[in-house]
Amino acid sequence: MAQQVMDPSAVLDAPLVVGKPTFSEVTSSVSGIVERKPPRAWYIAITVSGALTLVLVAMLGYLVTTGVGVWGNNQPVGWAWDITNFVFWIGIGHAGTLISAILFLLRQRWRTSINRAAEAMTLFAVMCAGIYPLFHVGRPWRAYWLLPLPNADLGMWPNFKSPLLWDVFAVSTYATVSALFWYVGMIPDLATLRDRAKDKIRRFAYGLLSLGWRGSARHWRHYEMAYLLLAGLSTPLVVSVHSIVSFDFAVAVIPGWHTTIFPPYFVAGAIFSGFAMVVTLMVLARKVYHLEHLITLRHLDNMAKVMLATGMIVGYAYAVEFFTAFFSGNPFERFVFLNRATGPYAWAVWTMVFCNVVVPQVFWFQRARTSIPVLFVASILINVGMWFERFVIIVTSLHRDFLPSSWGYFRPTAVDVLTFMGSIGLFLTLFLLFVRFLPMIAMFEVKSMLASSLPHREAEK
């Protein structure tokens, strides 16, 4: 907790690794998380998240045996919590690739210590997102029909004009490249765990996963080339994936959706919510596992700055949406946005505005960016606001159709709520298992920071 009282003016000059640890101390700090018995907090968390995961399994089983009608989707709100949660989870997964790929290509060294966990978070969020479209088709065992496979019996092909099909290719590509990027980056650290393993099972498992890594110059040369290529391949995916997800709405003719601002707006919002989730997880991890010397206030300060910047972009997009609706002269567009601000869902709209526009303003102050409680609370509120953003875009654009006789009010069912809670449980369970069995911090990247960190430069002088 001593880090929390650091003079905020010193954060910019603070080292990315503090305490002058040796290479072996860094290895012990990170490997020890995997090798030692987990703390009590881990067991409590895995019990709660595991129970929620079982709820998810039960709800999905009930949906398959009963029908998609157990969700609250109905006319006029044909899309609701299912697509809201899909877009929410896809957005959560954006920060991992941004931190790992784009910041790596830009040689931003503050990505170290947080990139590995962010990459894992990306994969788990994409898994949670994939649940909703998969089960929304009603017959998930027929999901292979979405792929362009020659089918002589059915004589059918996917509708390539549908942005819903574009999602299939975009998200599956993003998940595949992200998984490769995460795994390749972990190979040197898996070899370290293999060499430190004291029992045969661990030694065999980590040895199999490390692909025979020996740390030779040839291995490092091939590793760096592969990692660079994957980073370059991942970078356009950060922009393309959520842009394509936004096309689910932007290519429609529904008032409130048919707008060209959606692709950049959705990408900025995804980075915004993704960084908020990274901050939430890293604040907890550094406290529980005593990693304050590796996940420093400088990391958190930089992530707060990114949240402030993307939050301002999101706020600007909200203003542009309202301006465009009223400037266009289209009465239906005007009605949708006036209805959002003053209609029956105004409570959701203003919750969204408060969480996504007002809350990030606290990060203009460096003292707030270096306060652990402020960061933790703000990151949670931002993700609440981003969930409401997706809910507002989808539901408020549908619940009042062109005819007043078609107006309605969406209310989620218990299955809706429990399925979403279960997806949160699945996400947390996967992340907790990752922390338990795999290195959550890139040890070799942290070690590369030691020679250039401030304490070491002073020691050399």
Burial class (CB in 10 A: 0-12, 13-18, 19+), 440: buried
Model confidence at 79: pLDDT above 60? yes
Model confidence at 280: pLDDT above 70? yes
Reported as a pLDDT band with limits 50, 70 and 90, residue 140 is confident
Share of the chain above pLDDT 70, in %: 93
Helix (H, G, I), strand (E, B) or coil at 327: helix
Model confidence at 279: pLDDT above 80? yes
Predicted local confidence at residue 252, as pLDDT: 87
Model confidence at 372: pLDDT above 70? yes
Predicted local confidence at residue 454, as pLDDT: 46
Predicted local confidence at residue 457, as pLDDT: 46
Model confidence at 458: pLDDT above 60? no
Question: Average pLDDT, whole number, for the chain?
Answer: 86
Share of the chain above pLDDT 90, in %: 38
Give the long-range contacts of residues 259-266, CB within 8 A, separation 24 or more.
259/321, 259/324, 261/317, 261/320, 261/321, 261/324, 264/313, 264/317, 265/313, 265/314, 265/317, 266/87, 266/91, 266/242
Predicted local confidence at residue 69, as pLDDT: 87
Model confidence at 13: pLDDT above 70? no
CB count within 10 Å of CB 413 equals 15
Lowest mean pLDDT among 43-57, 220-234, 421-435, 441-455: 441-455
- Single out the residue of 234, 241, 236 nearest to residue 118, CA to CA: 234
CA distance 126 to 94: 9
Lowest mean pLDDT among 101-105, 118-122, 317-321: 101-105
Supply the angle between the helices 331-342 and 297-327 in degrees, to the nearest 10.
Answer: 130
Predicted local confidence at residue 405, as pLDDT: 82
CA distance 453 to 20: 9
Higher local confidence (pLDDT), 147 or 396? 396
Residue 280 near residue 380 (C-beta atoms within 8 A): yes
Cβ-Cβ contacts under 8 Å for 31 (sequence gap 6 or more): 192, 193, 196, 439, 443
Mean pLDDT of 35-56: 92
Residue 272 near residue 311 (C-beta atoms within 8 A): yes
Lowest mean pLDDT among 73-82, 241-250, 348-357, 449-458: 449-458
Mean pLDDT of 388-401: 89
Model confidence at 267: pLDDT above 50? yes
Reported as a pLDDT band with limits 50, 70 and 90, residue 355 is very high
Predicted local confidence at residue 437, as pLDDT: 92
Q: Specify the pTM.
A: 0.89
Mean pLDDT of 248-265: 88
